[in-house]
Amino acid sequence: MQRYFFDGSYENGQATITGDDAKHMMKVMRMRENDEIIIVHNASATVNKIITFTDNDVVVEKTTTSIPSPELPIQVTIACGLPKGDKLDLIVQKATELGMYALLPFEAQRSIVKWDAKKGDKKQQRLQKIAKEAAEQSHRTIIPTVHASVNFKQLLATASQFDAIFIADEEDAKLTKRLRLVDHVKKIAHYQNLLIVFGPEGGIDRHESTALLEIGATTVSLGPRILRTETAPLYFLSALSYELE
Model-wide pTM > 0.85: yes
Sheet holding 44-53, edge to edge: 3-5, 36-41, 44-53, 58-67, 14-17
Give 47's strand partners.
38
Given a cut of 70, is residue 233 above it in pLDDT?
yes
Three-state secondary structure call for residue 163: coil
How far apart are alpha carbons 91 and 190 in whole angstroms? 26
- Look at residues 209, 213, 211, 214 and name the one whose alpha carbon lies nearest to residue 171: 209
Contact 115, 82 (CB under 8 A): yes
For residue 172, pLDDT over 80 is answered with no
Q: pLDDT tens digit string along 4-48?
A: 999 999 999 999 999 999 999 999 999 999 999 999 999 999 999
Question: pLDDT > 90: what percent of the chain?
Answer: 74
Q: Is 34 exposed, middle or buried (0-12, 13-18, 19+ CB in 10 A)?
A: exposed
Q: What is the mean pLDDT of residues 72-87?
A: 94
Whether the pLDDT of residue 176 is over 70: the answer is no
Domain ranges of the chain: 3-67, 75-244
pLDDT for residue 175: 55
Please state which CATH number belongs to domain 3-67.
2.40.240.20
Report how far Cα 84 is from the mean position of its chain's Cα atoms.
Answer: 19
Which pLDDT tens digit goes with each residue over 51-75? 999 889 999 999 999 999 999 999 9
3-state secondary structure of 172: helix
pLDDT at 161 over 80: yes
What is the DSSP secondary structure assignment for residue 223, as one 8-state letter? -
Mean pLDDT of the chain: 91
Q: Do domains 3-67 and 75-244 have the same CATH topology?
A: no
CATH 3.30.365.10 is the classification of domain 75-244 = no
Q: What is the DSSP string of 44-55?
A: EEEEEEEEEE-S
How far is the C-alpha of 233 from the C-alpha of 168, rounded, in Å? 9
Secondary structure letter of residue 82 according to DSSP: P
